[in-house]
Amino acid sequence: MTRVAIVGSGITGTTLAWHLVKAGCQVDMFENGPEVPYPHSPQFEAEVLYANQYAPPTPIFPPPLPLDIKNVSQTGDYAGDLQQERIMCVGGQATRWFAMTPRIGTEHFRSFSLYGFGRDWPISYEDLESYYSRAEAHIGVSGQADNPFAPRRASPFPLPAFALSYQDRMFAEKLKARGIVTHTTPQARAREDYDGRPGCQNFGECGRCPVGARYSPNHHLELLRGSERFALHPNCLVRRIIVENGKGVGVTYHPEHGARQLEHPADVVIVAAGAIETARLLLLSKATGIHSDGLGNASGQVGRNFGMHHVWWNELSFPKPVMPGRAGPPTLLSHQFTLPEKDGGGGGMTVEMFDGVPQGTVLAAGRRQYVSGKASLEALRPFISKRALTVNAETIPSDDKYVALGDKRDRFGDPFAAVTYKLNDFDRATYQRAQRLAGRFGAALGAESLSPGPIEQFWSAHHHLGTCRMGDSLHDSVTDSFGALHETSGVYICGGAAFPTVTPLQPTLTMVALAIRSADRIAEQLAG
Amino acid sequence: MFSRRMVNSAIVAGVLALAAGGWKMHHHPPPREVPTGGPTGELDSATLAALMAVARTLTERDVLKGHYADYYAYQAKNRPGYLGVYRAFVAALAAEIAPGALEDFGRKTVAERWSVLERIGSSSASRRFDVPIIQETLAVFMRTDAWLLLGYEDWPGMARGLENYTKPLPERARS
């Protein structure tokens, strides 16, 4: 039986495992973090229902890993905390996500050819369309084809869309009157019972779903546990990819983060550990010859082209209550501006009317001191007349955006990753465009004021991408379009690490689609 | 210290105290003390009942729909130190009222309960109660009952279904 080792149990690794087990492979999955309960009701209780904004911000879900097991250093312009953003547990980042699942538009696969920036992908939308459909079915996407800016689709969404909220319907009309087109949000949140998952009950906090209506990789991992061809190894730090005669033949790892190091032989090694840890593992897996600077790094590409989304939050204030927070966070959005402006006017972006009264807003209010319920109520009252308007902007790589090995070391003496991230001129132009758009939305909606998010307060949305980009050539990329390393057989890099560009669209559905495509390819090659 | 003097004495009582808006703030915010160490465990019913009476006092609501009791129980069970602080607070409460009358605390008038809380808050050892008792209770209020008072039918965190949010909220007085 063919043996596959997968490093990382997030949505990409789990999708690969699911399809490869179905194809008859023996899959061993290695995860640095611990097991977490599924459905994620303990997470919901800790972070939403009984959230304690005064207690130290140590996450309960998942329990924090020791700093000599999980660590990263960062320099540059990003104010977010990459250490906190990287959720290491069984299920990975998608144990905590809003599950917005658009497809990447046709043009975004060809940004360099069409617009002169970024890079063309070695794959087209047409190549990926059928895999998008399979990905939507795999994770249960609810949606409807009401987005005129979405690429052509050959099949309907597997689940019906979530209706716009009452307020968003009125907003949509106002925006339409001013030439702004909006539509519903495709989301991996089950509109009705699906694949053993319950339909959504609108707890209002999709990022932490207590019932499993919002997709989590743990759904499929629970199903995989019943298979004799699948083994999950939590709390295992993978230190090296073993290469012999130009072929990946296994991994070395430390079970339970202990001193004992073991080797796990495999016919195929897949690394799906996120952009930062994937680059780190390749850089650590040095060997002789072309691997002297790290595996897959003969041309020095590993760690370069790191990218993140830039999400800016703007706050719109209205003269009358708009009563936010009645639906799940994303309801109304616009993909009208996902293509870049001409003449250097900035990159593309999605614009989202975030309906959830952000927990952070309420929690921030609660962090002040109050003297009574009456005073607390009055402090909260302004929020019913506000809405968050977020823009999710594309970014392009530059020499000041990269992942390397740093000075901090783990308990085994290996250096942790060090991230450098500095804004470039493209990013600044994109921010200016974002502000123009926010003002246009605010005016169309009749807002009486707009509080813009400053440029330095961009948020990555935990979308860490690039570092091992796919391409056609060994000289300027790390993998082919299936994730196979150019210079070594039997080793695949899957997930966000292989993205050549950071488009304005949320990346997760594309990661799942690419994973299914890679799984098909790997199974086909192993069978042949 | 978390305590602040009531504008009006407890003897002058309720109406004036309520009109004053409750606890009086220090000019400078006191340092926050959050329980950080100690055993976890189940809350006994007497402690929980006293805490709920405190919640009704702070929020000035006779009937609470929010999950205050579950919140206290969750913190006691999951966060080190909370169980001890809750018990210490209720012991301080008991010391301020007639011996053996803790069970009657919840039946006192709001003004009387405010008065007791004020006396506890005046002690130098009371700083440890500010965050876990006063501020967190008000935070639960802001995430639950306050939403109803602002005109919502429910609040995030509840299973609210997929129909109501597509309709206008029923008109009703917002207090």
pLDDT tens, position by position, A134-193: 999 999 999 999 999 999 999 999 999 999 999 999 999 999 999 999 999 999 999 999
Q: Is the pLDDT at B85 greater than 60, yes or no?
A: yes
Q: pLDDT digit string (tens) for A274-305?
A: 999 999 999 999 987 777 899 999 999 999 99
Lowest average pLDDT, out of A107-111, A279-283, A481-485, B102-106, goes to B102-106
Half-sphere exposure for B24 (CA within 13 Å, toward CB): 14
- Angle at which helices B45-59 and A373-380 cross, to 10°: 60
Q: Do B167 and A60 touch (CB under 8 A)?
A: no
Distance from CA of B84 to the nearest CA of A (A): 15
Write the CB contacts of A66 (distance below 8 Å, at least 6 apart in sequence): A257, A411
A205 closest CB neighbour out of B136, B156, B175:
B156
pLDDT of the residue at A182: 97
Which range is least confidently modeled, A152-161, A355-364, A374-383, B6-15? B6-15
Phi, psi (deg, nearest 5) at residue A421:
-145, 110
CB-based contact B132 A54, cutoff 8 Å: yes
Confidence of residue B22 (pLDDT cuts 50, 70, 90): very low
Pick from B21, B24, B151: CB nearest A323 = B151
Chain B touched by A202 (CB under 8 Å): yes
Average pLDDT, chain A: 94
pLDDT at residue B26, as a whole number: 36
Gap between the Cα atoms of A117 and A346, Å rounded:
11
Binary contact (A375, B24; C-beta < 8 A)? no
Q: How many residues does chain B have?
A: 175
**Contact B161/A359, CB-based, under 8 Å?**
no
Considering only residues 78 to 137 of chain B, which have any Cβ-Cβ distance to chain A shorter than 8 Å? 78-79, 131-132, 135-136
Return d(Cα A457, Cα A335) in angstroms, integer. 22
Sort B153 into a burial class: Cβ within 10 Å, 0-12 / 13-18 / 19+: middle
pLDDT at A147: 97
- Percentage of residues in chain B having pLDDT higher than 90: 41
Selecting from B58, B61, B165 the residue whose C-beta is nearest the C-beta of A202 gives B165
Q: Is the pLDDT of residue B25 over 50?
A: no
More confident residue, A451 or A442: A442
A218-222, A441-445, B53-57: segment of lowest average pLDDT: B53-57
Average pLDDT of the segment spanning B16-41: 57
What is the per-residue pLDDT across A120-137, written as a single tens digit (0 to 9) for each?
999 999 999 999 999 999
Query: Which residues of B are less than 8 Å from A55 in CB distance?
Result: 34, 79
The larger pLDDT score, comparing residue B102 to residue A516, is at: A516
CA distance A199 to chain B (A): 10
- Calculate what percentage of chain A has a pLDDT beyond 90: 86
Contacts of A105 (CB under 8 A, 6+ apart): A125, A149, A150, A151, A335, A338, A339, A503, A505
Q: Residue A373 is nearest to which of B59, B159, B162, comparing CB atoms?
A: B59
pLDDT at A528 over 80: no
Integer Cα distance of B60 and A376 in angstroms: 11
Cα–Cα distance for residue pair B26/B9, rounded to 1 Å = 17
pLDDT of residue A410: 98
Q: Name the least confident of A219-223, A418-422, A501-505, B103-107.
A: B103-107
**B165 inside 8 A of chain A by CB:** yes
Among A255-264, A440-449, B31-40, the range scoring the smallest mean pLDDT is B31-40
How confident is residue A92, by pLDDT bands cut at 50, 70 and 90?
very high
Query: With an 8 Å Cβ cutoff, is B13 touching chain A?
Result: no
Tell me the mean pLDDT in the region A223-243: 97
pLDDT score of A273 more than 80: yes
* Model confidence band, residue B101 (pLDDT cutoffs 50, 70, 90): confident
Spatial distance between the Cα atoms of A391 and A442, rounded to a whole number of angstroms: 13
Minimal CA separation from A156 to chain B, in Å: 22
Question: What region, left, alpha or beta, does residue B40 occupy, with left being phi > 0 and alpha being psi -120 to 50 degrees?
Answer: beta
- pLDDT category at A59 given cuts 50, 70, 90 is low
Contact at 8 Å (CB) between A479 and A492? Answer: yes
Higher local confidence (pLDDT), A387 or A358: A387
Please indicate whether residue B60 or residue A276 has the higher confidence score (pLDDT): A276
Element (H, E) at A508: helix A508-527
Contacts of B34 in chain A (CB under 8 A): 54-56
Q: Which domains does chain A have, with CATH numbers?
A: 3-51+64-141+150-527 (3.50.50.60)
Higher-confidence position of B28 and A445: A445
Per-residue pLDDT, A452:
87
Residue in A357, A367, A394, A373 with CA at minimum distance from that of residue A118: A394
Tell me the percentage of chain B whose pLDDT exceeds 70.
Answer: 77
The answer on pLDDT for A519 being more than 50 is yes
User: When comparing pLDDT for B70 and A369, which is higher?
Assistant: B70
CB atoms within 10 A of CB A496: 29
For residue A18, what are the CA distances in angstroms to A211, A232, A361, A498, A520?
21, 12, 38, 20, 11
In this prediction, residue B16 has a pLDDT band, given cuts at 50, 70 and 90, of very low
Distance from CA of B171 to the nearest CA of A (A): 12
User: How far is residue A381 CA from its own chain's centroid?
Assistant: 34
Top-confidence residue, A376 or A94:
A94
For chain B, the first-to-last Cα distance in angstroms comes to 32
Cβ of residue B160 closer than 8 Å to a chain A Cβ:
yes
Cis peptide, bond prior to residue A62, ω within 30 of zero: yes
Q: B157–A204: do the CB atoms touch at under 8 Å?
A: yes
Long-range contacts of the stretch A114-120 (C-beta < 8 A, 24+): A115/A339, A115/A340, A117/A340, A117/A347, A117/A396, A117/A426, A118/A394, A118/A396, A118/A397, A118/A500, A118/A501, A119/A397, A119/A469, A119/A471, A119/A500, A119/A501, A120/A500
Task: Parse chain B into domains and list their residue ranges.
Answer: 14-143
Amino acid at A492: Y
B173 pLDDT more than 70: no
Least confident of A404-413, B4-13, B127-136: B4-13
Cα dist. B18→A32, A375, B1, B133 in Å?
54, 11, 22, 19
Say how many Å lie between the first and final Cα of chain A, rounded: 13
Q: Is the bond into A329 cis (omega within 30 degrees of 0)?
A: no
- Which residue in A282, A359, A408 sits closest to A98, CA to CA? A359
- Calculate the dihedral angle through the C-alpha atoms of A54, A57, A60, A66, rounding to the nearest 10 degrees: -150
A114 in contact with B at a CB cutoff of 8 Å?
Answer: no
Q: Note whether B36 and A56 are within 8 A (CB).
A: yes
Do residues A427 and A308 lie in contact, with contact meaning Cβ atoms separated by under 8 Å? no
Q: What is the pLDDT of residues B108-165, one digit of tens each?
A: 887 888 888 877 777 766 778 888 998 899 999 999 999 999 999 999 999 999 999 9
Asked if residue B11 has pLDDT above 60, the reply is no
pLDDT band, residue A366 (cuts 50/70/90):
low
CA distance, residue B62 to nearest chain A CA (Å): 12
Give residue for tokens 């994937």.
A278
Instruction: State the pLDDT at residue B172.
Output: 63
Q: What per-residue confidence (pLDDT) applies to A180?
A: 98
**Closest-CA residue of chain B to A373:** B59
What per-residue string of b and e applies to A186-196 under the rule 16 or more CB within 10 Å gives b? bbbbbbeebee
Residue of chain B minimizing CA distance to A49: B157
Residue A343 has pLDDT above 80, yes or no: no
Are A6 and A270 within 8 A, CB to CB? yes
- Interface contact flag, A371 B159, Cβ < 8 Å: no
- Among the partner-chain residues B23, B60, B165, the one whose CB lies closest to the CB of A165 is B165
- Assess A142–B contact: CB distance below 8 Å, yes or no: no
Residues 315-344 of A with CB under 8 A from B: 321, 323, 325-327
What average pLDDT score do residues A77-81 get?
Answer: 96
Name residue A386's beta-bridge partners: A317
The mean per-residue pLDDT over the stretch B57-62 comes to: 88
Q: Which of A186, A268, A204 is nearest to A490 (CA)?
A: A268
